[in-house]
A = this chain, B = another copy of it.
Amino acid sequence: MMNPVECIRRKRDGGILSRPEMEEFVGAYTRGEIPEYQMSAFLMAVYFNGMDSGETLAFTDIMLRSGDVIDLSSIPGRKVDKHSTGGVGDKVSLILAPMVAACGVPVPMISGRGLGHTGGTLDKLESIPGFRTGLSVGEFRQAVGGIGIALAGQTAEIAPADRKMYALRDVTGTIECLPLIAGSIMSKKLAEGIDALVLDVKAGPGAFMPTEGRAIELARLLVDIGERYGKQTLAFITAMDQPLGLAIGNWLEVAESITCLRGKNIPDLMEVTTVLGGAMVFLGRKAGSIEEGMQQCRSAIWSGKAYEKFLHVVERQGGDVALVRAPLEYRPAPQVVDVSAGRTGWITGFDTKRIGMLAVELGAGRKRIDDAVDPRTGIVLEKKLGDRVRAGDLVARLHLTQGANADLLAVELLSSITISDAPVQVGPRVLAVVDAAGVRPWRTPQVH
């Protein structure tokens, strides 16, 4: 085996590790034969010098093969999942998964928890009393086979090496590195037993990728890895210059998702959800194009089939169906506080990351891995980018715990929202699409 220090020096000096070298180095780390301090130096060298496509694949492969790969081949149909790189108010999965499953495409979805300023689908699902995300591989397979959808958390058997690596990256300043991010995402997604994958790579100040260019770079990497594993992969670049939809906070987002599943159109949220869903239905071969897939998704909503599928999942996974049917019965947060505009004008900017951190502050997310979340807390916006407001108009409502300082938090929220004298042009929500052939601009077709 190549000396570990030699591997570090090679990467440090801009060299490339062969696939066997990479497999040996990362493999030895995952087996505990290389200490954390050598891996962290290596990861920092990767941060500066990157990885080529062969290295990224080898890296992904070791993490993928460190655990179980779920086999869903006995279930008919092409299994398709979606992954988002994370945003504020991003409850897309809650609407999308039952909607796509209602179109006949099996959705084996494994989600994560909130990270930094972004929320996590698992935390949202668990705000439904009784909802159990800790499915065994057998339960997961049975749910996908039985009702065409399973919404679960990552088990200890899925890519354990990624868990070890991610924990190290988190404490050594080596998170923000495209090939490492791509390897981490894809090793988990490829372990799910999918046939195809749709990716939502968020771009903007509220996302991990601050610019469209960086987001496209990451999307290309993700698509490249997926395609090399023979999984058709489509990535959409979507805007994260404001929270998606209106609600931020676990139950608040579930409640918003339920209204959308029942037919309410929250434009930005439903545009992104329908485009991603249309792509999933297309990749699931239930539609001849993304646009046709989008039409089927809309039908699944209008017909009530998407909502019905959601009720099925909740029931199957032990959630309180009665509460989902009557979301206003949910016990409210102890304080609900109105936040009003201090001046007249147009909403021209959201400091989305700050709003995400504010939601964490309110109890909707975690500062430390073992913090508990309060599912009732969060923010519900009443205004979005481009909206006209008058001084005194309701801009948002804060849902707070008993002891929270409402005045301070209201000021913090208001100072995260820019109101100007002149309106701004709000850009498109879905910016571009990346597939094996490359990147092209996206223009969302009108479907009804």
**Nearest chain B CB to A239 CB, angstrom units:** 25
Q: Determine if B47 and A174 form an interchain contact, defined as CB atoms under 8 angstroms apart.
A: no
Contact of A37 among B5, B8, B36 (CB under 8 A): B36
Contact of A172 among B5, B47, B171 (CB under 8 A): B5
* Given A47-B12, A48-B48, residue A174 in contact with residue B36 (CB < 8 A): no
Q: A35: CB under 8 A from chain B?
A: yes
CA distance A41 to B35 in the complex (A): 13
Determine chain A's interface SS by DSSP, over half rule: helix
Q: A211: CB under 8 A from chain B?
A: no
Report chain B residues within 8 Å CB of A38.
40, 171-172
**Nearest chain B CB to A293 CB, angstrom units:** 41
Q: A168: CB under 8 A from chain B?
A: yes
Task: Give the residues from 167 to 181 in chain A that come closer than 8 angstroms, CB to CB, to chain B.
Answer: 168, 170-174
* Given A36-B35, A39-B37, A40-B37, residue A45 in contact with residue B12 (CB < 8 A): no
Q: A43: CB under 8 A from chain B?
A: yes
* Given A37-B37, A37-B168, residue A45 in contact with residue B5 (CB < 8 A): no
Q: A9: CB under 8 A from chain B?
A: yes
* Given A12-B47, A47-B12, residue A174 in contact with residue B40 (CB < 8 A): no
**Nearest chain B CB to A169 CB, angstrom units:** 9
Between A4, A40, A47, A174, the greatest number of chain B beta carbons within 10 A of the residue's beta carbon is seen for A40
User: Top 6 nearest A-B pairs by Cβ distance?
Assistant: A8-B173, A44-B44, A41-B172, A36-B37, A37-B40, A40-B41
Report chain B residues within 8 Å CB of A171.
4-5, 37-38
**Nearest chain B CB to A6 CB, angstrom units:** 8
How many A residues touch the partner, as a band?
20 to 34
The chain B residue with its CB closest to the CB of A170 is B5
Report chain B residues within 8 Å CB of A47.
12, 45
Q: Determine if A45 and B8 form an interchain contact, defined as CB atoms under 8 angstroms apart.
A: no
Report chain B residues within 8 Å CB of A5.
170-173
Q: Determine if B8 and A172 form an interchain contact, defined as CB atoms under 8 angstroms apart.
A: yes
Report chain B residues within 8 Å CB of A173.
5, 8-9, 12, 41, 45
Q: Determine if B12 and A44 form an interchain contact, defined as CB atoms under 8 angstroms apart.
A: yes
The chain B residue with its CB closest to the CB of A171 is B5
CA distance A40 to B43 in the complex (A): 10
Report chain B residues within 8 Å CB of A9.
173
**Nearest chain B CB to A303 CB, angstrom units:** 49
Q: List 27 A-B contacts (CB under 8 A).
A: A5-B171, A5-B172, A8-B44, A8-B172, A8-B173, A9-B173, A12-B47, A12-B173, A35-B36, A35-B37, A36-B37, A37-B37, A37-B39, A37-B168, A37-B171, A37-B172, A38-B171, A38-B172, A40-B40, A40-B41, A41-B44, A41-B172, A41-B173, A41-B174, A44-B48, A45-B173, A48-B48
Report chain B residues within 8 Å CB of A37.
35-37, 39-40, 168, 171-172
**Nearest chain B CB to A168 CB, angstrom units:** 6
Report chain B residues within 8 Å CB of A174.
41
CA distance A47 to B49 in the complex (A): 12
CA distance A366 to B370 in the complex (A): 48
CA distance A12 to B36 in the complex (A): 18
CA distance A371 to B117 in the complex (A): 53
Report chain B residues within 8 Å CB of A168.
37
CA distance A9 to B170 in the complex (A): 11
Report chain B residues within 8 Å CB of A172.
5, 8, 37-38, 41
Binary per-residue interface labels of chain A (7-33) against chain B in the complex, 1 for a CB within 8 Å, 0 otherwise: 011001000000000000000000000
Contact of A36 among B36, B43, B48, B170 (CB under 8 A): B36
Report chain B residues within 8 Å CB of A44.
8, 12, 40-41, 44-45, 48
